[in-house]
Structure 1
Amino acid sequence: MKTWGLIARALEAQGSCALVSVVKAEGSVPREEGARMVVTARGFHGTIGGGTLEWKALAEAQRLLGKLRQVKMLTQSLGPDLGQCCGGRVTLAIESFDGKSLAETRQLAARELQGPFTLTTRLPGITECYGQQGRHVLVFGAGHVGRALILALAPLPFDVTWADPRPEAFPGAMPQNVTGFSGDPLAAVAAARDGAIAFIMSHSHALDLEITDAALRNARIAHVGLIGSATKRARFERRLGEAGVEPARISGLICPIGIGGIRSKHPAAIAVSVAAQLITLDEALSAAGTEGMLASRNAG
Protein backbone atom coordinates (compact mmCIF):
# COMPACT_ATOMS: atom_id res chain seq x y z
CA MET A 1 0.00 0.00 0.00
CA LYS A 2 1.40 3.39 -1.04
CA THR A 3 0.37 5.21 2.14
CA TRP A 4 1.26 8.79 1.25
CA GLY A 5 -0.19 8.54 -2.22
CA LEU A 6 -3.50 7.45 -0.69
CA ILE A 7 -3.39 10.30 1.83
CA ALA A 8 -2.62 12.89 -0.86
CA ARG A 9 -5.48 11.68 -3.07
CA ALA A 10 -7.86 11.63 -0.12
CA LEU A 11 -6.98 15.22 0.76
CA GLU A 12 -7.39 16.32 -2.85
CA ALA A 13 -10.81 14.67 -3.12
CA GLN A 14 -12.26 15.09 0.38
CA GLY A 15 -10.14 17.63 2.25
CA SER A 16 -9.40 15.43 5.24
CA CYS A 17 -8.37 11.92 6.24
CA ALA A 18 -6.70 10.02 9.07
CA LEU A 19 -3.83 7.58 9.30
CA VAL A 20 -3.73 4.71 11.81
CA SER A 21 -0.29 3.11 12.29
CA VAL A 22 0.90 0.25 14.46
CA VAL A 23 3.99 1.81 16.06
CA LYS A 24 4.64 -0.85 18.70
CA ALA A 25 3.60 -4.51 18.84
CA GLU A 26 4.34 -6.82 21.77
CA GLY A 27 3.42 -10.47 22.08
CA SER A 28 0.73 -12.13 19.98
CA VAL A 29 -0.92 -9.37 17.95
CA PRO A 30 -2.97 -9.26 14.72
CA ARG A 31 -0.47 -7.20 12.68
CA GLU A 32 3.18 -6.20 12.81
CA GLU A 33 4.76 -2.81 13.48
CA GLY A 34 4.36 -0.64 10.40
CA ALA A 35 0.89 -1.92 9.48
CA ARG A 36 -1.27 1.03 8.46
CA MET A 37 -4.80 2.04 7.58
CA VAL A 38 -5.90 5.25 5.83
CA VAL A 39 -9.37 6.36 6.94
CA THR A 40 -11.69 8.74 5.09
CA ALA A 41 -15.33 9.74 5.43
CA ARG A 42 -16.12 7.24 2.66
CA GLY A 43 -14.28 4.22 4.03
CA PHE A 44 -10.76 2.97 4.65
CA HIS A 45 -7.76 1.37 2.91
CA GLY A 46 -5.46 -1.17 4.52
CA THR A 47 -5.83 -2.91 7.86
CA ILE A 48 -4.22 -3.09 11.28
CA GLY A 49 -5.60 -6.57 11.87
CA GLY A 50 -9.36 -6.47 12.10
CA GLY A 51 -11.53 -7.31 15.10
CA THR A 52 -12.28 -5.08 18.05
CA LEU A 53 -8.91 -3.31 17.89
CA GLU A 54 -9.49 -2.14 14.33
CA TRP A 55 -13.12 -1.23 15.01
CA LYS A 56 -12.06 0.99 17.93
CA ALA A 57 -9.22 2.53 15.89
CA LEU A 58 -11.64 3.32 13.06
CA ALA A 59 -13.98 5.06 15.47
CA GLU A 60 -11.13 7.13 16.91
CA ALA A 61 -9.88 8.03 13.43
CA GLN A 62 -13.35 9.03 12.24
CA ARG A 63 -13.69 11.36 15.23
CA LEU A 64 -10.57 13.20 14.05
CA LEU A 65 -11.76 13.69 10.46
CA GLY A 66 -12.22 17.33 9.54
CA LYS A 67 -10.17 18.55 12.50
CA LEU A 68 -6.82 20.31 12.51
CA ARG A 69 -3.66 18.25 12.28
CA GLN A 70 -3.18 16.23 15.45
CA VAL A 71 -1.79 12.91 16.66
CA LYS A 72 -3.37 10.65 19.26
CA MET A 73 -1.46 7.70 20.76
CA LEU A 74 -3.54 4.71 21.85
CA THR A 75 -2.14 1.68 23.69
CA GLN A 76 -4.31 -1.41 24.07
CA SER A 77 -3.77 -4.74 25.80
CA LEU A 78 -5.83 -6.98 23.56
CA GLY A 79 -7.06 -9.32 26.27
CA PRO A 80 -7.87 -7.07 29.28
CA ASP A 81 -8.89 -3.99 27.26
CA LEU A 82 -10.67 -5.48 24.27
CA GLY A 83 -11.52 -9.07 25.13
CA GLN A 84 -9.47 -10.43 22.23
CA CYS A 85 -7.72 -13.75 22.67
CA CYS A 86 -4.40 -12.73 21.09
CA GLY A 87 -3.03 -11.57 24.43
CA GLY A 88 -0.54 -9.06 23.07
CA ARG A 89 -0.22 -5.31 23.43
CA VAL A 90 -0.40 -2.73 20.64
CA THR A 91 0.37 0.98 20.47
CA LEU A 92 -1.29 2.92 17.67
CA ALA A 93 -0.65 6.39 16.32
CA ILE A 94 -3.88 7.93 15.00
CA GLU A 95 -3.31 11.10 12.98
CA SER A 96 -5.59 13.55 11.27
CA PHE A 97 -4.69 15.47 8.10
CA ASP A 98 -6.37 18.49 6.52
CA GLY A 99 -5.81 20.61 3.42
CA LYS A 100 -2.81 22.32 4.99
CA SER A 101 -1.02 18.95 4.95
CA LEU A 102 -1.41 18.47 1.20
CA ALA A 103 1.95 19.89 0.10
CA GLU A 104 3.85 17.75 2.62
CA THR A 105 1.93 14.60 1.75
CA ARG A 106 2.55 15.12 -1.97
CA GLN A 107 6.28 15.34 -1.30
CA LEU A 108 6.19 12.15 0.76
CA ALA A 109 4.11 10.42 -1.93
CA ALA A 110 6.80 11.28 -4.48
CA ARG A 111 9.51 9.85 -2.20
CA GLU A 112 7.46 6.71 -1.70
CA LEU A 113 7.39 6.06 -5.44
CA GLN A 114 11.18 6.24 -5.59
CA GLY A 115 11.70 3.39 -3.11
CA PRO A 116 12.17 2.71 0.60
CA PHE A 117 12.88 5.54 3.03
CA THR A 118 12.61 6.21 6.76
CA LEU A 119 11.33 9.10 8.82
CA THR A 120 12.69 9.62 12.33
CA THR A 121 11.40 13.07 13.31
CA ARG A 122 7.79 13.12 12.16
CA LEU A 123 6.51 11.22 15.22
CA PRO A 124 8.72 11.77 18.31
CA GLY A 125 10.67 8.67 19.27
CA ILE A 126 9.29 6.59 16.38
CA THR A 127 11.13 5.43 13.26
CA GLU A 128 8.76 4.98 10.32
CA CYS A 129 9.53 3.00 7.17
CA TYR A 130 7.75 3.69 3.89
CA GLY A 131 8.04 2.72 0.25
CA GLN A 132 9.14 -0.85 0.85
CA GLN A 133 9.14 -2.92 -2.31
CA GLY A 134 7.14 -6.10 -2.29
CA ARG A 135 8.05 -9.22 -4.23
CA HIS A 136 8.14 -8.46 -7.95
CA VAL A 137 5.44 -10.54 -9.64
CA LEU A 138 5.12 -10.59 -13.42
CA VAL A 139 1.77 -11.62 -14.87
CA PHE A 140 1.76 -12.22 -18.62
CA GLY A 141 -1.68 -12.11 -20.21
CA ALA A 142 -4.72 -9.88 -19.80
CA GLY A 143 -7.36 -12.47 -20.60
CA HIS A 144 -10.05 -13.74 -18.23
CA VAL A 145 -7.66 -15.50 -15.85
CA GLY A 146 -5.10 -12.69 -15.99
CA ARG A 147 -7.73 -10.10 -15.09
CA ALA A 148 -9.06 -12.23 -12.25
CA LEU A 149 -5.54 -12.80 -10.91
CA ILE A 150 -4.78 -9.07 -10.94
CA LEU A 151 -7.87 -8.44 -8.81
CA ALA A 152 -6.84 -11.22 -6.42
CA LEU A 153 -3.35 -9.71 -6.07
CA ALA A 154 -4.62 -6.14 -5.59
CA PRO A 155 -4.73 -6.22 -1.77
CA LEU A 156 -1.54 -8.28 -1.39
CA PRO A 157 1.97 -6.86 -0.78
CA PHE A 158 3.32 -7.57 -4.26
CA ASP A 159 4.69 -5.18 -6.89
CA VAL A 160 3.00 -6.46 -10.03
CA THR A 161 3.98 -5.93 -13.64
CA TRP A 162 1.06 -6.91 -15.87
CA ALA A 163 2.24 -7.48 -19.42
CA ASP A 164 0.29 -8.01 -22.62
CA PRO A 165 1.25 -6.82 -26.12
CA ARG A 166 -2.40 -5.88 -26.77
CA PRO A 167 -2.98 -2.44 -25.20
CA GLU A 168 -6.74 -2.74 -25.70
CA ALA A 169 -6.82 -5.84 -23.48
CA PHE A 170 -6.19 -3.85 -20.30
CA PRO A 171 -9.06 -2.37 -18.27
CA GLY A 172 -9.41 1.38 -17.86
CA ALA A 173 -8.16 1.31 -14.25
CA MET A 174 -5.66 -0.87 -12.42
CA PRO A 175 -4.97 -1.57 -8.73
CA GLN A 176 -2.42 0.63 -6.99
CA ASN A 177 0.21 -2.13 -6.87
CA VAL A 178 -0.04 -2.96 -10.59
CA THR A 179 1.87 -1.43 -13.51
CA GLY A 180 0.60 -2.21 -17.00
CA PHE A 181 3.10 -3.03 -19.74
CA SER A 182 1.91 -3.22 -23.35
CA GLY A 183 5.28 -3.42 -25.08
CA ASP A 184 7.32 -6.48 -25.98
CA PRO A 185 6.74 -9.05 -23.18
CA LEU A 186 10.38 -10.11 -23.41
CA ALA A 187 11.37 -6.59 -22.32
CA ALA A 188 9.28 -7.11 -19.18
CA VAL A 189 11.10 -10.41 -18.58
CA ALA A 190 14.45 -8.66 -18.94
CA ALA A 191 13.41 -5.99 -16.41
CA ALA A 192 12.54 -8.52 -13.68
CA ARG A 193 14.02 -7.74 -10.27
CA ASP A 194 16.03 -10.21 -8.21
CA GLY A 195 13.79 -12.87 -6.71
CA ALA A 196 10.90 -12.16 -9.07
CA ILE A 197 8.13 -14.64 -9.79
CA ALA A 198 6.65 -14.87 -13.29
CA PHE A 199 3.30 -16.46 -14.15
CA ILE A 200 2.46 -16.83 -17.83
CA MET A 201 -1.11 -17.02 -19.19
CA SER A 202 -1.14 -15.21 -22.51
CA HIS A 203 -3.63 -15.53 -25.38
CA SER A 204 -1.17 -17.55 -27.49
CA HIS A 205 0.69 -20.83 -26.85
CA ALA A 206 3.48 -19.63 -29.13
CA LEU A 207 3.84 -16.48 -27.07
CA ASP A 208 3.64 -18.53 -23.86
CA LEU A 209 6.57 -20.62 -25.07
CA GLU A 210 8.62 -17.55 -26.03
CA ILE A 211 8.04 -15.90 -22.64
CA THR A 212 8.64 -19.12 -20.71
CA ASP A 213 11.94 -19.66 -22.51
CA ALA A 214 13.11 -16.12 -21.70
CA ALA A 215 11.92 -16.29 -18.09
CA LEU A 216 13.66 -19.59 -17.40
CA ARG A 217 16.92 -18.19 -18.80
CA ASN A 218 16.71 -15.12 -16.54
CA ALA A 219 18.50 -16.02 -13.28
CA ARG A 220 16.81 -13.10 -11.49
CA ILE A 221 13.45 -14.87 -11.78
CA ALA A 222 13.18 -17.33 -8.94
CA HIS A 223 10.04 -19.17 -10.08
CA VAL A 224 8.24 -19.46 -13.40
CA GLY A 225 4.63 -20.63 -13.63
CA LEU A 226 2.76 -21.53 -16.82
CA ILE A 227 -0.98 -21.99 -17.19
CA GLY A 228 -1.89 -25.27 -18.87
CA SER A 229 -2.31 -29.00 -18.58
CA ALA A 230 0.17 -31.82 -18.08
CA THR A 231 0.11 -32.31 -21.86
CA LYS A 232 1.09 -28.68 -22.45
CA ARG A 233 3.88 -29.05 -19.91
CA ALA A 234 5.26 -32.12 -21.69
CA ARG A 235 5.29 -30.33 -25.03
CA PHE A 236 6.94 -27.26 -23.56
CA GLU A 237 9.55 -29.32 -21.71
CA ARG A 238 10.58 -30.98 -24.96
CA ARG A 239 10.79 -27.72 -26.89
CA LEU A 240 12.62 -25.90 -24.10
CA GLY A 241 15.12 -28.74 -23.86
CA GLU A 242 15.69 -28.64 -27.60
CA ALA A 243 16.26 -24.88 -27.31
CA GLY A 244 19.03 -25.41 -24.74
CA VAL A 245 17.32 -24.27 -21.54
CA GLU A 246 19.00 -25.75 -18.45
CA PRO A 247 17.31 -29.03 -17.36
CA ALA A 248 17.15 -27.87 -13.73
CA ARG A 249 15.24 -24.77 -14.72
CA ILE A 250 12.86 -26.77 -16.91
CA SER A 251 12.14 -29.25 -14.09
CA GLY A 252 11.39 -26.32 -11.79
CA LEU A 253 8.71 -24.95 -14.12
CA ILE A 254 5.35 -24.74 -12.34
CA CYS A 255 2.74 -26.18 -14.70
CA PRO A 256 -0.13 -26.65 -14.09
CA ILE A 257 -0.34 -23.62 -11.80
CA GLY A 258 -2.26 -23.15 -8.56
CA ILE A 259 -2.50 -24.99 -5.27
CA GLY A 260 -3.96 -28.48 -5.08
CA GLY A 261 -7.52 -29.29 -4.13
CA ILE A 262 -9.28 -26.68 -6.30
CA ARG A 263 -10.80 -28.23 -9.42
CA SER A 264 -12.93 -25.35 -10.63
CA LYS A 265 -11.96 -23.82 -13.97
CA HIS A 266 -13.76 -20.55 -13.24
CA PRO A 267 -11.24 -17.71 -13.78
CA ALA A 268 -11.84 -16.31 -10.30
CA ALA A 269 -11.30 -19.73 -8.71
CA ILE A 270 -8.08 -20.23 -10.67
CA ALA A 271 -6.98 -16.74 -9.58
CA VAL A 272 -7.56 -17.56 -5.91
CA SER A 273 -5.57 -20.77 -6.29
CA VAL A 274 -2.68 -19.00 -8.04
CA ALA A 275 -2.67 -16.10 -5.55
CA ALA A 276 -2.38 -18.62 -2.70
CA GLN A 277 0.51 -20.29 -4.54
CA LEU A 278 2.25 -16.94 -5.00
CA ILE A 279 1.98 -16.23 -1.27
CA THR A 280 3.50 -19.63 -0.50
CA LEU A 281 6.36 -19.09 -2.95
CA ASP A 282 7.02 -15.58 -1.64
CA GLU A 283 7.14 -16.71 1.98
CA ALA A 284 9.45 -19.61 1.14
CA LEU A 285 11.82 -17.31 -0.76
CA SER A 286 11.83 -14.81 2.10
CA ALA A 287 12.52 -17.51 4.68
CA ALA A 288 15.34 -19.04 2.64
CA GLY A 289 16.89 -15.72 1.70
CA THR A 290 16.37 -14.87 -1.96
CA GLU A 291 19.89 -13.52 -2.47
CA GLY A 292 21.49 -16.70 -1.16
CA MET A 293 19.26 -18.86 -3.34
CA LEU A 294 20.11 -16.88 -6.46
CA ALA A 295 23.84 -16.94 -5.70
CA SER A 296 23.71 -20.72 -5.25
CA ARG A 297 21.87 -21.16 -8.53
CA ASN A 298 24.34 -18.98 -10.42
CA ALA A 299 27.28 -20.88 -8.91
CA GLY A 300 25.78 -24.16 -10.10
Structure 2
Amino acid sequence: MSFDAEALRNALAAHGRVARVVIAAHQGSSPREAGASMLVWEGGQSGTIGGGALELDAARQALSVATSRVTRVPLGPALGQCCGGAVTLVTEVFEDMPELGDSYARRVEGNTEEPLAVTRAQADGRNGSGVGMVFERGWLCEPVQPARVPLWVWGAGHVGRAIVDVIAPTQAFKITWIDSGADRFPDRSDAKNSFVINELTAVNIPDAVPHAPRDAHHLILTYSHAFDLDLCHRLLGHGFASAGLIGSATKWARFRSRLRALGHSEARISCIRCPIGNRRWGNTRKPLRWAWLLSYC
Protein backbone atom coordinates (compact mmCIF):
# COMPACT_ATOMS: atom_id res chain seq x y z
CA MET A 1 0.00 0.00 0.00
CA SER A 2 1.16 3.55 -0.63
CA PHE A 3 0.29 7.21 -0.09
CA ASP A 4 -2.13 8.19 -2.85
CA ALA A 5 -1.13 11.77 -3.61
CA GLU A 6 -3.48 12.13 -6.55
CA ALA A 7 -6.53 11.07 -4.55
CA LEU A 8 -5.67 13.54 -1.78
CA ARG A 9 -5.02 16.35 -4.27
CA ASN A 10 -8.38 15.77 -5.98
CA ALA A 11 -10.22 15.58 -2.65
CA LEU A 12 -8.64 18.81 -1.42
CA ALA A 13 -9.58 20.58 -4.65
CA ALA A 14 -13.18 19.42 -4.32
CA HIS A 15 -13.73 19.68 -0.56
CA GLY A 16 -11.12 22.03 0.92
CA ARG A 17 -10.40 20.19 4.19
CA VAL A 18 -9.77 16.45 4.17
CA ALA A 19 -8.83 13.91 6.84
CA ARG A 20 -6.86 10.81 5.95
CA VAL A 21 -7.06 7.71 8.14
CA VAL A 22 -4.51 4.94 7.58
CA ILE A 23 -3.93 1.61 9.31
CA ALA A 24 -0.35 2.09 10.45
CA ALA A 25 -0.04 -1.27 12.21
CA HIS A 26 -2.12 -4.22 13.32
CA GLN A 27 -1.79 -7.09 15.73
CA GLY A 28 -3.63 -10.35 15.18
CA SER A 29 -6.63 -10.46 12.90
CA SER A 30 -7.84 -7.20 11.32
CA PRO A 31 -10.28 -6.28 8.54
CA ARG A 32 -7.57 -4.66 6.37
CA GLU A 33 -3.81 -4.72 6.08
CA ALA A 34 -1.35 -2.04 7.22
CA GLY A 35 -1.36 0.79 4.69
CA ALA A 36 -5.08 0.63 3.93
CA SER A 37 -6.51 4.14 4.07
CA MET A 38 -9.54 6.32 3.53
CA LEU A 39 -10.18 10.00 2.96
CA VAL A 40 -12.94 11.78 4.88
CA TRP A 41 -14.48 15.18 4.20
CA GLU A 42 -17.60 16.97 5.32
CA GLY A 43 -20.45 14.85 4.01
CA GLY A 44 -18.46 12.10 2.31
CA GLN A 45 -15.49 9.77 2.10
CA SER A 46 -13.57 7.49 -0.26
CA GLY A 47 -11.44 4.41 0.26
CA THR A 48 -11.88 1.97 3.12
CA ILE A 49 -10.11 0.66 6.21
CA GLY A 50 -12.37 -2.37 6.37
CA GLY A 51 -15.88 -1.10 6.95
CA GLY A 52 -18.01 -1.87 9.98
CA ALA A 53 -17.94 -0.06 13.29
CA LEU A 54 -14.18 0.56 13.07
CA GLU A 55 -14.53 2.60 9.88
CA LEU A 56 -17.73 4.31 10.99
CA ASP A 57 -16.19 5.46 14.26
CA ALA A 58 -12.92 6.55 12.62
CA ALA A 59 -14.76 8.56 9.96
CA ARG A 60 -16.99 10.19 12.54
CA GLN A 61 -14.01 11.42 14.57
CA ALA A 62 -11.60 12.18 11.71
CA LEU A 63 -12.43 15.82 11.04
CA SER A 64 -12.25 16.72 14.74
CA VAL A 65 -8.48 16.07 14.73
CA ALA A 66 -6.40 19.25 14.79
CA THR A 67 -3.36 17.98 12.87
CA SER A 68 -2.57 14.32 13.57
CA ARG A 69 -3.58 11.64 16.03
CA VAL A 70 -2.54 8.05 16.70
CA THR A 71 -5.26 5.75 18.03
CA ARG A 72 -4.89 2.13 19.11
CA VAL A 73 -8.19 0.31 18.70
CA PRO A 74 -8.99 -3.22 20.01
CA LEU A 75 -11.28 -5.06 17.60
CA GLY A 76 -13.54 -6.58 20.21
CA PRO A 77 -17.01 -6.32 21.72
CA ALA A 78 -16.80 -2.56 22.28
CA LEU A 79 -16.91 -2.11 18.50
CA GLY A 80 -19.26 -5.00 17.93
CA GLN A 81 -16.48 -6.79 16.02
CA CYS A 82 -15.03 -10.22 16.61
CA CYS A 83 -11.71 -10.00 14.72
CA GLY A 84 -9.90 -10.40 18.01
CA GLY A 85 -6.94 -8.28 16.99
CA ALA A 86 -6.10 -4.59 17.24
CA VAL A 87 -5.21 -1.83 14.81
CA THR A 88 -3.26 1.40 15.13
CA LEU A 89 -4.85 4.22 13.17
CA VAL A 90 -3.08 7.41 12.16
CA THR A 91 -5.47 10.27 11.38
CA GLU A 92 -4.16 13.43 9.72
CA VAL A 93 -6.05 16.50 8.55
CA PHE A 94 -4.93 18.31 5.39
CA GLU A 95 -5.89 21.70 4.02
CA ASP A 96 -2.98 21.85 1.55
CA MET A 97 -0.86 19.25 -0.18
CA PRO A 98 2.24 18.22 1.78
CA GLU A 99 5.65 18.19 0.14
CA LEU A 100 6.16 14.73 -1.32
CA GLY A 101 8.99 12.83 -2.92
CA ASP A 102 9.31 9.11 -3.55
CA SER A 103 8.19 8.64 0.05
CA TYR A 104 6.37 10.70 2.66
CA ALA A 105 7.95 10.68 6.13
CA ARG A 106 6.62 12.70 9.06
CA ARG A 107 6.25 12.68 12.83
CA VAL A 108 2.66 11.85 13.77
CA GLU A 109 3.06 11.46 17.54
CA GLY A 110 5.42 12.63 20.27
CA ASN A 111 8.67 14.55 19.78
CA THR A 112 11.25 11.87 19.00
CA GLU A 113 13.94 12.32 16.38
CA GLU A 114 13.59 10.51 13.09
CA PRO A 115 14.32 6.79 13.61
CA LEU A 116 16.99 5.09 11.54
CA ALA A 117 14.37 2.79 9.98
CA VAL A 118 12.52 5.81 8.59
CA THR A 119 15.75 7.36 7.25
CA ARG A 120 16.60 4.09 5.53
CA ALA A 121 13.09 3.79 4.08
CA GLN A 122 13.42 7.24 2.49
CA ALA A 123 16.82 6.35 1.03
CA ASP A 124 15.42 3.11 -0.36
CA GLY A 125 12.56 5.06 -1.93
CA ARG A 126 14.99 7.40 -3.67
CA ASN A 127 17.02 4.55 -5.15
CA GLY A 128 13.95 2.63 -6.28
CA SER A 129 14.11 -0.27 -3.83
CA GLY A 130 10.36 -0.03 -3.26
CA VAL A 131 10.14 -0.58 0.49
CA GLY A 132 6.80 -0.63 2.24
CA MET A 133 5.38 1.50 5.01
CA VAL A 134 7.37 2.06 8.23
CA PHE A 135 5.72 3.07 11.51
CA GLU A 136 8.16 3.44 14.37
CA ARG A 137 8.53 5.61 17.50
CA GLY A 138 5.85 8.07 16.45
CA TRP A 139 7.07 8.42 12.86
CA LEU A 140 5.25 7.23 9.75
CA CYS A 141 6.88 6.78 6.35
CA GLU A 142 4.90 5.67 3.31
CA PRO A 143 5.93 5.16 -0.31
CA VAL A 144 4.16 7.63 -2.60
CA GLN A 145 2.04 6.06 -5.30
CA PRO A 146 3.29 6.89 -8.81
CA ALA A 147 1.05 8.99 -11.04
CA ARG A 148 -1.77 7.01 -12.61
CA VAL A 149 -1.73 6.20 -16.32
CA PRO A 150 -4.33 8.30 -18.20
CA LEU A 151 -6.94 6.07 -19.85
CA TRP A 152 -9.81 7.47 -21.91
CA VAL A 153 -12.75 5.11 -22.35
CA TRP A 154 -15.04 6.22 -25.17
CA GLY A 155 -18.49 4.76 -24.56
CA ALA A 156 -20.44 3.71 -21.46
CA GLY A 157 -22.33 0.79 -22.94
CA HIS A 158 -22.13 -2.76 -21.62
CA VAL A 159 -18.54 -3.31 -22.82
CA GLY A 160 -17.35 0.04 -21.50
CA ARG A 161 -18.97 -0.66 -18.14
CA ALA A 162 -17.42 -4.12 -17.93
CA ILE A 163 -13.94 -2.80 -18.69
CA VAL A 164 -14.21 0.10 -16.23
CA ASP A 165 -15.55 -2.29 -13.57
CA VAL A 166 -12.35 -4.33 -13.67
CA ILE A 167 -9.84 -1.54 -14.32
CA ALA A 168 -10.98 1.08 -11.78
CA PRO A 169 -10.34 -1.06 -8.65
CA THR A 170 -6.70 -1.55 -9.69
CA GLN A 171 -6.29 2.23 -9.22
CA ALA A 172 -3.42 2.09 -11.72
CA PHE A 173 -5.30 4.26 -14.22
CA LYS A 174 -6.82 7.72 -14.15
CA ILE A 175 -9.96 7.00 -16.16
CA THR A 176 -11.79 9.60 -18.20
CA TRP A 177 -15.08 8.09 -19.34
CA ILE A 178 -16.93 9.79 -22.18
CA ASP A 179 -20.41 9.38 -23.65
CA SER A 180 -23.13 11.49 -25.23
CA GLY A 181 -25.28 12.00 -22.13
CA ALA A 182 -25.22 11.65 -18.34
CA ASP A 183 -27.95 9.00 -18.51
CA ARG A 184 -25.57 6.73 -20.41
CA PHE A 185 -23.43 6.17 -17.31
CA PRO A 186 -24.23 3.69 -14.52
CA ASP A 187 -25.21 4.92 -11.08
CA ARG A 188 -22.02 4.91 -9.01
CA SER A 189 -23.30 5.64 -5.53
CA ASP A 190 -20.30 3.75 -4.10
CA ALA A 191 -17.57 6.40 -3.90
CA LYS A 192 -14.61 4.09 -3.34
CA ASN A 193 -13.37 4.46 -6.95
CA SER A 194 -14.75 7.94 -7.59
CA PHE A 195 -11.33 9.58 -7.44
CA VAL A 196 -10.00 7.51 -10.39
CA ILE A 197 -12.99 8.06 -12.71
CA ASN A 198 -13.95 11.34 -14.33
CA GLU A 199 -17.14 11.26 -16.41
CA LEU A 200 -17.46 13.61 -19.39
CA THR A 201 -20.44 14.16 -21.65
CA ALA A 202 -20.32 15.44 -25.23
CA VAL A 203 -23.34 15.29 -27.52
CA ASN A 204 -20.90 14.73 -30.38
CA ILE A 205 -18.49 12.42 -28.57
CA PRO A 206 -15.38 13.05 -30.75
CA ASP A 207 -15.51 16.75 -29.83
CA ALA A 208 -13.85 15.77 -26.53
CA VAL A 209 -10.64 14.57 -28.22
CA PRO A 210 -8.77 17.92 -27.88
CA HIS A 211 -9.09 17.64 -24.09
CA ALA A 212 -7.16 14.35 -23.93
CA PRO A 213 -3.47 14.44 -22.97
CA ARG A 214 -1.24 13.23 -25.78
CA ASP A 215 0.21 10.48 -23.60
CA ALA A 216 -3.21 8.97 -22.85
CA HIS A 217 -4.34 5.46 -23.75
CA HIS A 218 -7.70 5.13 -25.49
CA LEU A 219 -10.40 2.48 -25.81
CA ILE A 220 -13.02 3.26 -28.47
CA LEU A 221 -16.26 1.47 -27.57
CA THR A 222 -19.14 3.75 -28.59
CA TYR A 223 -22.57 2.71 -29.82
CA SER A 224 -22.03 4.43 -33.19
CA HIS A 225 -19.73 3.41 -36.06
CA ALA A 226 -19.76 7.04 -37.18
CA PHE A 227 -18.46 8.14 -33.76
CA ASP A 228 -15.88 5.33 -33.78
CA LEU A 229 -14.53 6.37 -37.19
CA ASP A 230 -14.41 10.05 -36.29
CA LEU A 231 -12.62 9.22 -33.03
CA CYS A 232 -9.98 7.24 -34.93
CA HIS A 233 -9.57 10.13 -37.39
CA ARG A 234 -9.26 12.79 -34.70
CA LEU A 235 -7.00 10.75 -32.43
CA LEU A 236 -4.61 10.04 -35.30
CA GLY A 237 -4.26 13.78 -35.75
CA HIS A 238 -4.14 14.53 -32.02
CA GLY A 239 -1.66 11.91 -30.80
CA PHE A 240 -1.88 9.13 -28.19
CA ALA A 241 0.16 6.53 -26.32
CA SER A 242 -2.05 3.67 -27.54
CA ALA A 243 -5.54 3.23 -28.96
CA GLY A 244 -7.81 0.22 -29.28
CA LEU A 245 -11.05 -0.05 -31.24
CA ILE A 246 -13.77 -2.60 -30.58
CA GLY A 247 -15.00 -4.34 -33.72
CA SER A 248 -14.53 -7.11 -36.23
CA ALA A 249 -11.81 -7.51 -38.85
CA THR A 250 -14.39 -6.48 -41.47
CA LYS A 251 -15.18 -3.26 -39.61
CA TRP A 252 -11.48 -2.47 -39.29
CA ALA A 253 -10.81 -3.10 -42.99
CA ARG A 254 -13.58 -0.62 -43.84
CA PHE A 255 -12.22 1.90 -41.35
CA ARG A 256 -8.67 1.58 -42.67
CA SER A 257 -9.89 2.40 -46.16
CA ARG A 258 -11.82 5.43 -44.91
CA LEU A 259 -8.88 6.65 -42.82
CA ARG A 260 -6.52 6.40 -45.80
CA ALA A 261 -9.00 8.48 -47.79
CA LEU A 262 -8.89 11.05 -44.97
CA GLY A 263 -5.13 11.40 -45.48
CA HIS A 264 -3.62 9.12 -42.83
CA SER A 265 -0.66 6.89 -43.70
CA GLU A 266 -0.87 3.12 -43.40
CA ALA A 267 1.89 3.18 -40.78
CA ARG A 268 0.01 5.71 -38.69
CA ILE A 269 -3.30 3.87 -39.01
CA SER A 270 -1.60 0.69 -37.79
CA CYS A 271 -0.97 2.39 -34.44
CA ILE A 272 -4.63 1.70 -33.63
CA ARG A 273 -5.30 -1.86 -32.49
CA CYS A 274 -8.44 -3.54 -33.82
CA PRO A 275 -9.90 -5.92 -32.82
CA ILE A 276 -8.95 -5.55 -29.16
CA GLY A 277 -8.69 -8.42 -26.71
CA ASN A 278 -7.85 -11.97 -27.73
CA ARG A 279 -10.16 -13.95 -29.98
CA ARG A 280 -9.24 -17.21 -28.21
CA TRP A 281 -10.99 -15.79 -25.13
CA GLY A 282 -14.18 -15.05 -27.02
CA ASN A 283 -15.88 -11.68 -27.33
CA THR A 284 -18.12 -11.55 -24.28
CA ARG A 285 -17.64 -8.83 -21.70
CA LYS A 286 -15.65 -10.66 -19.04
CA PRO A 287 -13.00 -12.24 -21.33
CA LEU A 288 -12.72 -9.02 -23.32
CA ARG A 289 -12.00 -6.83 -20.31
CA TRP A 290 -9.38 -9.20 -18.91
CA ALA A 291 -7.79 -9.77 -22.32
CA TRP A 292 -7.38 -6.03 -22.80
CA LEU A 293 -5.92 -5.50 -19.35
CA LEU A 294 -3.46 -8.37 -19.71
CA SER A 295 -2.42 -7.24 -23.19
CA TYR A 296 -1.75 -3.76 -21.78
CA CYS A 297 0.33 -5.10 -18.91
**TM-score when scaled to structure 2?**
0.58
Query: What residue number does 2:206 align with?
Result: 186
Equivalent residues, number:
220
Are 2:254 and 1:235 aligned? Answer: yes
The correspondence for 2:152, drawn from 134, 138, 142, is 138
Query: What is the letter of the counterpart of residue 269 of structure 1?
Result: P
CA distance in 2, matches of 1:4, 1:204: 36
Distance 1:4 1:136 in 2: 16
**Comparing both structures, which one devotes a greater share of its residues to helix?**
1
**TM-score, normalised to structure 1's length?**
0.58
Aligned-pair CA distance for 1:6: 8.0
2: CA distance, partners of 1:241 / 1:269: 31
Q: Residue 259 of structure 1 contacts residue 276 of structure 1 at CA under 8 Å; is this kept in 2?
A: no
Three-state SS of the structure 2 residue aligned to 1:159 is: strand
Deviates more, 1:221-230 or 1:177-186: 177-186
What is the CA deviation profile of residues 250-276 of structure 1, one whole-angstrom value per residue up to 9, with x for unaligned ones?
1121101014531142x2332222232
Report the residue type matching 1:134 in the other structure.
Answer: R
Distance 1:94 1:222, change over 3 A: same
Find the counterpart in structure 1 of residue 268 from structure 2: 249
Going from structure 1 to structure 2, the CA distance change for 1:260 and 1:217 (only over 3 Å counts) comes to same
Cα deviation for residue 95 of structure 1 reads 2.0
Unaligned runs of 5+ in 2: 26-32, 41-45, 72-87, 109-113, 119-139
**Does the 8 A contact of 1:140 with 1:164 survive in 2?**
yes
| Aligned equivalent of 1:216 | 236
Which residue of 180, 183, 187 maps to 1:165? 180
- Output the CA distance in 1 between the equivalents of 2:270 and 2:222: 21
RMSD: 4.3
| Per-residue deviation, residues 184-216 of structure 1 (Å, max 9, x unmatched) | 433432122242111101010011000111112
Matched, 1:203 2:218: no
Question: Do the aligned residues in 1 keep the contact of 2:214 with 2:238 (CA within 8 Å)?
Answer: no
How many angstroms does 1:128 deviate by? 5.3
Task: Point out where structure 1 has 5 or more consecutive residues left out of the alignment.
Answer: 23-30, 48-54, 73-92, 98-103, 281-300
2:234 aligns to what SS in structure 1? helix
Give yes or no for contact 1:136–1:160 (8 Å, CA) kept in 2: yes
The answer to whether the Cα contact below 8 Å between 1:140 and 1:199 also exists between their aligned partners in 2 is: yes
